Structure 1
Amino acid sequence: MADFERIAFVASETRDAVDACAALVKRYGNAPPAEADAIVALGGDGLMLQTMHNHMHSRIPIYGMNRGSVGFLLNDYKKNRLKERLAAAEITVIHPLRMTVRDVKGAAHEALAINEVSLFRQIHQAAKLKIAVDGTTRMGELICDGVLVATPAGSTAYNLSAHGPILPITAPLLTLTPISPFRPRRWRGALLPNDAHVLIEALEPDKRPVSAVADHTEFRNVASVEIAEASSIDIFMMFDPGHTLAERILAEQFGY
Protein backbone atom coordinates (compact mmCIF):
# COMPACT_ATOMS: atom_id res chain seq x y z
CA MET A 1 0.00 0.00 0.00
CA ALA A 2 1.47 3.33 -1.09
CA ASP A 3 2.18 6.14 1.35
CA PHE A 4 0.60 9.51 0.66
CA GLU A 5 2.46 11.80 3.01
CA ARG A 6 2.79 14.65 0.51
CA ILE A 7 -0.55 15.85 -0.80
CA ALA A 8 -1.11 18.86 -3.06
CA PHE A 9 -4.51 20.55 -2.94
CA VAL A 10 -6.15 22.60 -5.68
CA ALA A 11 -9.61 24.14 -5.52
CA SER A 12 -12.11 25.99 -7.65
CA GLU A 13 -13.16 29.53 -6.71
CA THR A 14 -16.50 28.57 -5.13
CA ARG A 15 -16.94 29.17 -1.41
CA ASP A 16 -17.50 25.46 -0.69
CA ALA A 17 -14.30 24.52 -2.50
CA VAL A 18 -12.20 27.28 -0.92
CA ASP A 19 -13.42 26.44 2.58
CA ALA A 20 -12.82 22.70 2.05
CA CYS A 21 -9.32 23.37 0.76
CA ALA A 22 -8.45 25.51 3.78
CA ALA A 23 -9.67 22.83 6.19
CA LEU A 24 -7.75 20.06 4.44
CA VAL A 25 -4.54 22.07 4.13
CA LYS A 26 -4.70 22.82 7.85
CA ARG A 27 -5.00 19.11 8.62
CA TYR A 28 -2.68 17.54 6.02
CA GLY A 29 -0.39 20.32 4.82
CA ASN A 30 0.01 21.33 1.18
CA ALA A 31 2.93 20.02 -0.86
CA PRO A 32 4.03 21.61 -4.14
CA PRO A 33 2.30 19.64 -6.96
CA ALA A 34 5.63 18.64 -8.51
CA GLU A 35 6.70 16.99 -5.23
CA ALA A 36 3.35 15.46 -4.27
CA ASP A 37 2.41 11.79 -4.00
CA ALA A 38 -1.12 12.75 -5.07
CA ILE A 39 -3.04 15.86 -6.13
CA VAL A 40 -6.47 16.37 -4.56
CA ALA A 41 -8.83 18.52 -6.63
CA LEU A 42 -11.75 20.19 -4.84
CA GLY A 43 -14.58 21.46 -7.01
CA GLY A 44 -16.68 20.15 -9.86
CA ASP A 45 -15.96 18.22 -13.04
CA GLY A 46 -14.63 21.38 -14.69
CA LEU A 47 -11.97 21.80 -12.02
CA MET A 48 -11.05 18.12 -12.27
CA LEU A 49 -10.65 18.44 -16.04
CA GLN A 50 -8.55 21.58 -15.63
CA THR A 51 -6.35 19.85 -13.04
CA MET A 52 -5.75 16.90 -15.36
CA HIS A 53 -4.76 19.29 -18.13
CA ASN A 54 -2.43 21.26 -15.86
CA HIS A 55 -0.62 18.10 -14.69
CA MET A 56 -1.02 15.95 -17.79
CA HIS A 57 2.67 15.11 -18.08
CA SER A 58 3.48 14.74 -14.38
CA ARG A 59 2.29 11.13 -13.92
CA ILE A 60 1.06 12.13 -10.44
CA PRO A 61 -2.32 10.54 -9.59
CA ILE A 62 -5.26 12.91 -9.17
CA TYR A 63 -8.05 12.36 -6.67
CA GLY A 64 -11.08 14.60 -7.00
CA MET A 65 -13.55 15.41 -4.22
CA ASN A 66 -16.89 16.95 -5.08
CA ARG A 67 -17.33 20.55 -3.97
CA GLY A 68 -19.18 21.53 -7.15
CA SER A 69 -22.39 20.60 -8.92
CA VAL A 70 -22.16 17.45 -11.09
CA GLY A 71 -19.17 15.50 -9.79
CA PHE A 72 -19.20 12.63 -12.29
CA LEU A 73 -15.39 12.49 -12.21
CA LEU A 74 -15.16 12.98 -8.45
CA ASN A 75 -15.35 11.17 -5.14
CA ASP A 76 -17.52 12.20 -2.21
CA TYR A 77 -16.11 14.94 -0.02
CA LYS A 78 -14.96 13.88 3.45
CA LYS A 79 -12.34 15.52 5.66
CA ASN A 80 -11.42 12.45 7.67
CA ARG A 81 -9.06 9.59 6.78
CA LEU A 82 -7.93 11.16 3.51
CA LYS A 83 -4.56 9.39 3.45
CA GLU A 84 -6.28 6.04 4.02
CA ARG A 85 -8.73 6.78 1.20
CA LEU A 86 -5.86 7.65 -1.14
CA ALA A 87 -4.02 4.44 -0.22
CA ALA A 88 -7.13 2.34 -0.91
CA ALA A 89 -8.15 4.14 -4.10
CA GLU A 90 -8.30 2.34 -7.44
CA ILE A 91 -6.50 3.98 -10.36
CA THR A 92 -7.95 4.43 -13.83
CA VAL A 93 -5.45 5.26 -16.59
CA ILE A 94 -6.74 7.34 -19.48
CA HIS A 95 -5.10 8.79 -22.59
CA PRO A 96 -5.95 12.15 -24.20
CA LEU A 97 -6.53 12.91 -27.86
CA ARG A 98 -4.03 14.98 -29.81
CA MET A 99 -5.63 17.53 -32.14
CA THR A 100 -3.54 19.02 -34.95
CA VAL A 101 -5.23 21.91 -36.74
CA ARG A 102 -4.32 23.61 -39.99
CA ASP A 103 -6.14 26.89 -40.46
CA VAL A 104 -7.16 28.56 -43.72
CA LYS A 105 -3.93 30.59 -43.72
CA GLY A 106 -1.82 27.42 -43.50
CA ALA A 107 -0.73 27.84 -39.87
CA ALA A 108 -0.56 24.70 -37.69
CA HIS A 109 -1.84 24.47 -34.11
CA GLU A 110 -1.92 21.63 -31.60
CA ALA A 111 -3.87 20.87 -28.42
CA LEU A 112 -4.76 17.90 -26.23
CA ALA A 113 -8.26 16.80 -25.22
CA ILE A 114 -9.25 14.51 -22.37
CA ASN A 115 -12.95 14.43 -23.27
CA GLU A 116 -13.38 15.22 -26.95
CA VAL A 117 -12.28 17.10 -30.04
CA SER A 118 -15.21 18.94 -31.63
CA LEU A 119 -15.71 20.83 -34.89
CA PHE A 120 -18.50 23.44 -35.10
CA ARG A 121 -19.99 25.74 -37.70
CA GLN A 122 -19.03 29.36 -36.94
CA ILE A 123 -21.96 31.13 -38.63
CA HIS A 124 -25.60 30.55 -39.55
CA GLN A 125 -24.69 28.25 -42.45
CA ALA A 126 -24.18 24.55 -41.80
CA ALA A 127 -20.67 23.14 -42.01
CA LYS A 128 -19.64 20.87 -44.87
CA LEU A 129 -17.08 18.32 -43.76
CA LYS A 130 -15.13 15.45 -45.30
CA ILE A 131 -14.05 12.61 -43.02
CA ALA A 132 -11.20 10.14 -43.59
CA VAL A 133 -10.12 7.35 -41.25
CA ASP A 134 -6.62 5.90 -41.61
CA GLY A 135 -6.24 7.47 -45.03
CA THR A 136 -9.53 6.21 -46.47
CA THR A 137 -12.39 8.65 -47.10
CA ARG A 138 -15.43 7.38 -45.21
CA MET A 139 -17.71 10.40 -45.59
CA GLY A 140 -17.27 12.51 -48.70
CA GLU A 141 -19.65 15.22 -47.54
CA LEU A 142 -21.31 15.65 -44.15
CA ILE A 143 -23.61 18.67 -43.82
CA CYS A 144 -24.10 19.37 -40.13
CA ASP A 145 -23.68 21.72 -37.20
CA GLY A 146 -20.50 19.83 -36.37
CA VAL A 147 -18.89 16.53 -35.44
CA LEU A 148 -16.85 15.25 -32.50
CA VAL A 149 -14.42 12.49 -31.60
CA ALA A 150 -14.68 11.41 -27.96
CA THR A 151 -12.61 9.21 -25.67
CA PRO A 152 -14.27 6.67 -23.36
CA ALA A 153 -13.79 9.16 -20.51
CA GLY A 154 -15.54 11.84 -22.55
CA SER A 155 -18.26 9.63 -23.98
CA THR A 156 -20.65 10.57 -21.14
CA ALA A 157 -20.09 14.30 -21.64
CA TYR A 158 -20.93 16.30 -24.80
CA ASN A 159 -20.89 13.10 -26.85
CA LEU A 160 -23.84 11.71 -24.88
CA SER A 161 -25.76 14.96 -25.29
CA ALA A 162 -25.21 14.65 -29.05
CA HIS A 163 -26.75 11.12 -28.88
CA GLY A 164 -23.41 9.35 -29.18
CA PRO A 165 -22.80 5.97 -27.50
CA ILE A 166 -21.39 5.55 -24.01
CA LEU A 167 -18.08 3.66 -24.07
CA PRO A 168 -16.76 1.51 -21.20
CA ILE A 169 -13.68 3.25 -19.81
CA THR A 170 -11.39 0.30 -20.68
CA ALA A 171 -12.74 -0.10 -24.23
CA PRO A 172 -10.04 0.41 -26.89
CA LEU A 173 -12.44 2.62 -28.84
CA LEU A 174 -13.23 6.18 -29.85
CA THR A 175 -16.65 7.43 -30.87
CA LEU A 176 -17.17 9.63 -33.93
CA THR A 177 -20.48 11.45 -33.46
CA PRO A 178 -22.23 14.00 -35.70
CA ILE A 179 -23.83 17.11 -34.20
CA SER A 180 -27.24 17.83 -35.75
CA PRO A 181 -26.54 16.11 -39.09
CA PHE A 182 -28.61 17.33 -42.06
CA ARG A 183 -27.14 15.16 -44.82
CA PRO A 184 -26.88 12.22 -44.57
CA ARG A 185 -29.82 12.76 -42.22
CA ARG A 186 -29.85 9.36 -40.53
CA TRP A 187 -26.11 8.93 -40.02
CA ARG A 188 -25.54 8.33 -36.32
CA GLY A 189 -21.76 8.18 -36.31
CA ALA A 190 -19.23 5.37 -35.93
CA LEU A 191 -17.13 3.49 -33.41
CA LEU A 192 -13.42 3.54 -34.20
CA PRO A 193 -10.44 1.64 -32.80
CA ASN A 194 -8.45 3.80 -30.42
CA ASP A 195 -5.41 3.73 -32.71
CA ALA A 196 -7.38 5.21 -35.62
CA HIS A 197 -6.14 8.37 -37.30
CA VAL A 198 -9.02 10.70 -38.17
CA LEU A 199 -8.74 13.54 -40.69
CA ILE A 200 -11.64 15.99 -40.96
CA GLU A 201 -11.50 18.60 -43.72
CA ALA A 202 -13.70 21.68 -43.99
CA LEU A 203 -15.29 21.94 -47.44
CA GLU A 204 -15.92 25.52 -48.54
CA PRO A 205 -14.11 26.92 -45.47
CA ASP A 206 -14.38 30.53 -46.66
CA LYS A 207 -18.14 30.33 -47.19
CA ARG A 208 -18.81 27.96 -44.29
CA PRO A 209 -16.15 28.67 -41.62
CA VAL A 210 -15.51 26.01 -38.99
CA SER A 211 -13.90 26.10 -35.54
CA ALA A 212 -12.16 23.23 -33.75
CA VAL A 213 -12.12 22.71 -29.98
CA ALA A 214 -10.04 20.34 -27.84
CA ASP A 215 -11.87 20.41 -24.48
CA HIS A 216 -11.58 24.16 -23.83
CA THR A 217 -8.92 25.16 -26.39
CA GLU A 218 -10.46 26.62 -29.55
CA PHE A 219 -9.07 27.50 -32.98
CA ARG A 220 -11.21 29.26 -35.58
CA ASN A 221 -11.33 29.24 -39.38
CA VAL A 222 -9.84 25.77 -39.71
CA ALA A 223 -9.16 24.00 -42.99
CA SER A 224 -8.40 20.54 -41.57
CA VAL A 225 -8.14 18.75 -38.25
CA GLU A 226 -6.19 15.57 -37.52
CA ILE A 227 -7.16 13.57 -34.43
CA ALA A 228 -5.34 10.63 -32.86
CA GLU A 229 -4.94 9.18 -29.38
CA ALA A 230 -1.83 10.38 -27.55
CA SER A 231 -1.14 6.89 -26.22
CA SER A 232 2.23 7.88 -24.74
CA ILE A 233 0.53 10.20 -22.22
CA ASP A 234 -0.87 8.48 -19.13
CA ILE A 235 -3.27 10.31 -16.82
CA PHE A 236 -3.93 8.61 -13.47
CA MET A 237 -7.36 9.18 -11.91
CA MET A 238 -8.09 7.86 -8.41
CA PHE A 239 -11.48 6.59 -7.24
CA ASP A 240 -12.81 5.06 -4.05
CA PRO A 241 -13.40 1.28 -4.32
CA GLY A 242 -16.85 0.53 -5.68
CA HIS A 243 -17.17 4.00 -7.20
CA THR A 244 -14.67 3.79 -10.05
CA LEU A 245 -15.11 5.60 -13.35
CA ALA A 246 -15.81 2.24 -15.01
CA GLU A 247 -18.69 1.63 -12.58
CA ARG A 248 -20.08 5.14 -13.09
CA ILE A 249 -20.02 4.83 -16.87
CA LEU A 250 -21.75 1.45 -16.67
CA ALA A 251 -24.39 2.85 -14.32
CA GLU A 252 -24.98 5.81 -16.64
CA GLN A 253 -26.18 3.39 -19.32
CA PHE A 254 -28.98 2.23 -17.03
CA GLY A 255 -30.13 5.71 -16.13
CA TYR A 256 -28.89 6.03 -12.54
Structure 2
Amino acid sequence: MSLRIAFAASSAPIAQSAKAGLTRRYGDHNEDGADVIVALGGDGFMLDTLHRTQNLPAPVYGMNRGTVGFLMNEYSDHGLPERLEQAEQEVINPLSMKATTQDGGEQRALAINEVSLLRAGPQAARLRIIVDGKVRMSELVCDGALVSTPAGSTAYNYSAHGPILPIGSDVLALTAVAAFRPRRWRGALLPKTAEVTFEVMEAQKRPVMAEADGRAVRDVVRVDIRSEPSIAHKVLFDPGHGLEERLIREQFV
Protein backbone atom coordinates (compact mmCIF):
# COMPACT_ATOMS: atom_id res chain seq x y z
CA MET A 1 0.00 0.00 0.00
CA SER A 2 1.46 3.36 -1.03
CA LEU A 3 1.86 6.18 1.46
CA ARG A 4 -0.84 8.80 1.53
CA ILE A 5 1.06 12.09 1.49
CA ALA A 6 -0.36 15.54 2.23
CA PHE A 7 1.69 18.51 1.05
CA ALA A 8 1.73 21.92 2.72
CA ALA A 9 3.78 24.87 1.46
CA SER A 10 4.64 28.36 2.60
CA SER A 11 3.62 31.32 0.45
CA ALA A 12 7.14 31.65 -0.97
CA PRO A 13 7.17 31.05 -4.76
CA ILE A 14 9.91 28.42 -4.45
CA ALA A 15 7.80 26.48 -1.95
CA GLN A 16 4.64 26.79 -4.01
CA SER A 17 6.48 25.59 -7.11
CA ALA A 18 7.86 22.60 -5.21
CA LYS A 19 4.40 21.69 -3.96
CA ALA A 20 2.95 21.82 -7.47
CA GLY A 21 5.66 19.52 -8.83
CA LEU A 22 5.46 17.04 -5.95
CA THR A 23 1.66 16.93 -6.13
CA ARG A 24 1.79 16.07 -9.81
CA ARG A 25 4.26 13.31 -9.09
CA TYR A 26 2.90 11.77 -5.89
CA GLY A 27 -0.65 13.04 -5.50
CA ASP A 28 -1.99 15.04 -2.57
CA HIS A 29 -4.27 13.81 0.22
CA ASN A 30 -6.20 15.64 2.92
CA GLU A 31 -4.11 16.12 6.03
CA ASP A 32 -6.63 14.41 8.31
CA GLY A 33 -6.43 11.22 6.24
CA ALA A 34 -2.74 11.25 5.39
CA ASP A 35 -0.03 8.91 6.62
CA VAL A 36 2.50 11.75 6.60
CA ILE A 37 2.44 15.51 6.08
CA VAL A 38 5.27 17.04 4.04
CA ALA A 39 5.94 20.70 4.87
CA LEU A 40 7.74 22.78 2.27
CA GLY A 41 9.31 26.03 3.48
CA GLY A 42 11.60 27.20 6.24
CA ASP A 43 11.71 26.67 10.00
CA GLY A 44 8.98 29.24 10.63
CA PHE A 45 6.59 27.44 8.33
CA MET A 46 7.55 24.12 9.91
CA LEU A 47 6.63 25.47 13.35
CA ASP A 48 3.32 26.76 11.99
CA THR A 49 2.60 23.36 10.43
CA LEU A 50 3.38 21.50 13.66
CA HIS A 51 1.12 23.78 15.66
CA ARG A 52 -1.68 23.55 13.11
CA THR A 53 -1.58 19.74 12.83
CA GLN A 54 -0.83 18.87 16.47
CA ASN A 55 -4.14 17.00 16.86
CA LEU A 56 -3.64 14.88 13.73
CA PRO A 57 -2.00 11.43 13.90
CA ALA A 58 0.30 11.96 10.90
CA PRO A 59 3.94 12.93 11.55
CA VAL A 60 5.45 15.90 9.73
CA TYR A 61 8.44 15.66 7.38
CA GLY A 62 9.92 19.00 6.37
CA MET A 63 11.86 19.79 3.20
CA ASN A 64 13.79 23.03 3.10
CA ARG A 65 12.46 25.65 0.74
CA GLY A 66 13.43 28.48 3.11
CA THR A 67 16.64 29.85 4.59
CA VAL A 68 18.14 28.03 7.60
CA GLY A 69 16.01 24.90 7.68
CA PHE A 70 17.26 23.49 10.99
CA LEU A 71 14.06 21.49 11.39
CA MET A 72 13.95 20.55 7.72
CA ASN A 73 15.41 17.84 5.51
CA GLU A 74 17.23 18.51 2.26
CA TYR A 75 14.88 19.14 -0.64
CA SER A 76 14.61 16.65 -3.48
CA ASP A 77 11.69 15.65 -5.67
CA HIS A 78 13.12 12.14 -6.27
CA GLY A 79 12.40 9.04 -4.21
CA LEU A 80 10.19 10.77 -1.66
CA PRO A 81 8.15 7.68 -0.62
CA GLU A 82 11.37 5.76 0.02
CA ARG A 83 12.77 8.62 2.11
CA LEU A 84 9.58 8.79 4.13
CA GLU A 85 9.62 5.04 4.76
CA GLN A 86 13.21 5.23 6.04
CA ALA A 87 12.82 8.44 8.06
CA GLU A 88 13.47 8.47 11.81
CA GLN A 89 10.96 10.04 14.18
CA GLU A 90 11.69 12.56 16.92
CA VAL A 91 9.03 13.51 19.49
CA ILE A 92 8.95 17.10 20.75
CA ASN A 93 6.88 18.34 23.68
CA PRO A 94 6.08 22.06 23.47
CA LEU A 95 6.02 24.67 26.21
CA SER A 96 2.74 26.16 27.36
CA MET A 97 2.59 29.88 28.11
CA LYS A 98 -0.02 31.70 30.19
CA ALA A 99 0.48 35.45 29.92
CA THR A 100 -1.35 37.83 32.25
CA THR A 101 -1.66 41.40 30.96
CA GLN A 102 -1.93 44.75 32.73
CA ASP A 103 -5.71 44.83 32.24
CA GLY A 104 -6.08 41.46 33.99
CA GLY A 105 -6.60 39.42 30.84
CA GLU A 106 -4.99 36.06 30.17
CA GLN A 107 -3.69 34.68 26.91
CA ARG A 108 -2.39 31.17 26.36
CA ALA A 109 -0.14 29.78 23.63
CA LEU A 110 2.17 26.86 22.88
CA ALA A 111 5.81 27.11 21.85
CA ILE A 112 7.92 24.39 20.24
CA ASN A 113 11.09 26.50 20.37
CA GLU A 114 10.88 29.02 23.20
CA VAL A 115 8.82 31.45 25.23
CA SER A 116 10.54 34.82 25.47
CA LEU A 117 9.98 38.12 27.27
CA LEU A 118 11.31 41.29 25.68
CA ARG A 119 11.30 44.91 26.73
CA ALA A 120 8.76 46.92 24.73
CA GLY A 121 10.02 50.41 25.55
CA PRO A 122 13.23 52.42 25.85
CA GLN A 123 14.06 51.22 29.38
CA ALA A 124 15.37 47.81 30.41
CA ALA A 125 12.91 45.31 31.84
CA ARG A 126 12.91 44.37 35.53
CA LEU A 127 11.91 40.75 36.02
CA ARG A 128 11.47 38.53 39.06
CA ILE A 129 12.10 34.82 38.37
CA ILE A 130 10.16 32.14 40.25
CA VAL A 131 10.81 28.42 39.75
CA ASP A 132 8.34 25.90 41.16
CA GLY A 133 6.88 28.53 43.45
CA LYS A 134 10.21 29.69 44.90
CA VAL A 135 11.79 33.04 44.08
CA ARG A 136 15.15 32.25 42.51
CA MET A 137 16.08 35.76 41.37
CA SER A 138 14.44 38.79 42.96
CA GLU A 139 15.50 41.15 40.19
CA LEU A 140 16.90 40.65 36.71
CA VAL A 141 17.46 43.88 34.79
CA CYS A 142 17.75 43.00 31.12
CA ASP A 143 16.46 43.41 27.59
CA GLY A 144 14.57 40.15 28.11
CA ALA A 145 14.71 36.49 29.07
CA LEU A 146 13.53 33.21 27.60
CA VAL A 147 12.83 29.57 28.35
CA SER A 148 13.84 27.18 25.58
CA THR A 149 13.22 23.52 24.78
CA PRO A 150 16.08 21.34 23.52
CA ALA A 151 14.59 21.52 20.01
CA GLY A 152 14.68 25.31 20.15
CA SER A 153 18.02 25.67 21.90
CA THR A 154 19.90 26.48 18.67
CA ALA A 155 17.45 29.25 17.73
CA TYR A 156 16.92 32.47 19.71
CA ASN A 157 18.37 30.84 22.83
CA TYR A 158 21.72 30.22 21.12
CA SER A 159 21.77 33.76 19.70
CA ALA A 160 21.36 35.01 23.27
CA HIS A 161 24.42 32.90 24.28
CA GLY A 162 22.34 30.17 25.89
CA PRO A 163 23.48 26.52 25.89
CA ILE A 164 22.71 23.97 23.20
CA LEU A 165 20.71 21.15 24.80
CA PRO A 166 20.84 17.50 23.69
CA ILE A 167 17.44 16.49 22.36
CA GLY A 168 16.93 13.76 24.97
CA SER A 169 18.23 15.72 27.95
CA ASP A 170 14.84 16.46 29.58
CA VAL A 171 16.02 19.93 30.60
CA LEU A 172 15.02 23.49 29.75
CA ALA A 173 17.31 26.46 29.26
CA LEU A 174 16.52 29.72 31.05
CA THR A 175 18.57 32.42 29.34
CA ALA A 176 18.90 36.16 29.84
CA VAL A 177 18.92 38.57 26.90
CA ALA A 178 21.51 41.30 27.42
CA ALA A 179 21.51 41.11 31.21
CA PHE A 180 22.53 44.36 32.93
CA ARG A 181 22.14 43.26 36.56
CA PRO A 182 23.43 40.79 37.58
CA ARG A 183 25.69 41.55 34.64
CA ARG A 184 27.48 38.20 34.50
CA TRP A 185 24.40 36.01 34.90
CA ARG A 186 24.09 33.72 31.89
CA GLY A 187 21.02 31.77 32.88
CA ALA A 188 20.21 28.34 34.29
CA LEU A 189 19.46 24.78 33.31
CA LEU A 190 16.19 23.48 34.75
CA PRO A 191 14.50 20.08 34.77
CA LYS A 192 11.84 19.63 32.12
CA THR A 193 9.21 19.37 34.86
CA ALA A 194 9.99 22.85 36.23
CA GLU A 195 7.35 25.57 36.17
CA VAL A 196 8.88 28.99 35.53
CA THR A 197 7.17 32.28 36.31
CA PHE A 198 8.36 35.73 35.28
CA GLU A 199 6.87 38.67 37.16
CA VAL A 200 7.29 42.06 35.51
CA MET A 201 8.23 44.83 37.92
CA GLU A 202 7.28 48.44 37.09
CA ALA A 203 5.22 47.11 34.19
CA GLN A 204 3.75 50.47 33.20
CA LYS A 205 7.07 52.31 33.28
CA ARG A 206 9.00 49.41 31.75
CA PRO A 207 6.54 47.59 29.45
CA VAL A 208 7.29 44.01 28.43
CA MET A 209 5.91 41.75 25.72
CA ALA A 210 5.87 37.96 25.66
CA GLU A 211 6.23 35.71 22.63
CA ALA A 212 5.59 32.01 22.10
CA ASP A 213 7.07 30.92 18.76
CA GLY A 214 6.34 34.40 17.39
CA ARG A 215 2.84 34.73 18.89
CA ALA A 216 3.08 38.03 20.75
CA VAL A 217 1.26 39.32 23.84
CA ARG A 218 1.90 42.94 24.81
CA ASP A 219 1.90 44.62 28.23
CA VAL A 220 2.36 41.49 30.32
CA VAL A 221 2.73 41.55 34.09
CA ARG A 222 3.21 37.82 34.64
CA VAL A 223 4.12 34.88 32.41
CA ASP A 224 3.84 31.25 33.53
CA ILE A 225 5.72 28.62 31.51
CA ARG A 226 5.85 24.84 31.74
CA SER A 227 6.45 21.87 29.48
CA GLU A 228 3.31 20.31 28.02
CA PRO A 229 3.85 16.50 27.98
CA SER A 230 0.28 15.81 26.81
CA ILE A 231 1.16 17.22 23.37
CA ALA A 232 3.71 15.29 21.29
CA HIS A 233 4.82 16.71 17.96
CA LYS A 234 6.12 13.91 15.70
CA VAL A 235 8.84 15.11 13.33
CA LEU A 236 10.57 12.95 10.72
CA PHE A 237 14.22 13.24 9.69
CA ASP A 238 16.38 11.42 7.17
CA PRO A 239 18.57 8.74 8.83
CA GLY A 240 21.69 10.24 10.38
CA HIS A 241 20.35 13.78 10.14
CA GLY A 242 17.99 13.92 13.14
CA LEU A 243 17.85 16.59 15.80
CA GLU A 244 20.41 14.90 18.05
CA GLU A 245 23.02 14.85 15.27
CA ARG A 246 22.20 18.42 14.26
CA LEU A 247 22.49 19.69 17.83
CA ILE A 248 25.90 18.05 18.24
CA ARG A 249 27.12 19.26 14.85
CA GLU A 250 26.03 22.82 15.59
CA GLN A 251 28.51 22.97 18.49
CA PHE A 252 31.52 22.33 16.25
CA VAL A 253 31.04 25.03 13.63
Same fold (TM over 0.5): yes
- SS of corresponding position for 1:165: coil
- SS of corresponding position for 2:55: coil
Within-5 A mapping of 1:193-232: 193-232=191-230
1:147 and 2:145 are equivalent in the alignment: yes
Name the counterpart of 2:190: 192
Q: Distance in 1 between matches of 2:2 and 2:235?
A: 15
- SS of corresponding position for 1:212: strand
Q: TM-score, normalised by structure 1?
A: 0.97
Name the counterpart of 2:243: 245
CA-to-aligned-CA distance 1:68-109 (integer Å, 9 cap, x gap): 111111111111211111111000000000000111111111
Deviating more after overlay: 144-153 vs 73-82 = 73-82
Report runs of 4+ in structure 1 exceeding 3 Å deviation: none
Q: Which runs of 5+ in 1 are unaligned?
A: none
- SS of corresponding position for 1:24: helix
Q: Distance in 1 between matches of 2:123 and 2:132?
A: 29
Q: Distance in 1 between matches of 2:57 and 2:101?
A: 32
Q: Distance in 2 between matches of 1:20 and 1:181?
A: 43
Match of 2:233 among 232, 235, 242: 235
> Offset of 1:4 from its aligned partner?
5.4
Name the counterpart of 1:183: 181
Q: TM-score, normalised by structure 2?
A: 0.98
> Offset of 1:43 from its aligned partner?
1.1
> Offset of 1:15 from its aligned partner?
2.1
Name the counterpart of 1:12: 10
Name the counterpart of 1:117: 115
The two structures, once aligned, show a CA RMSD in angstroms of 0.9
Name the counterpart of 2:20: 22
Are the counterparts in 2 of residues 129 and 200 from structure 1 also a CA contact under 8 Å?
A: yes
CA-to-aligned-CA distance 1:126-175 (integer Å, 9 cap, x gap): 00000000011000000000000000000000000000000011110000
Q: State the percentage of identical aligned residues.
A: 55
> Offset of 1:59 from its aligned partner?
3.3
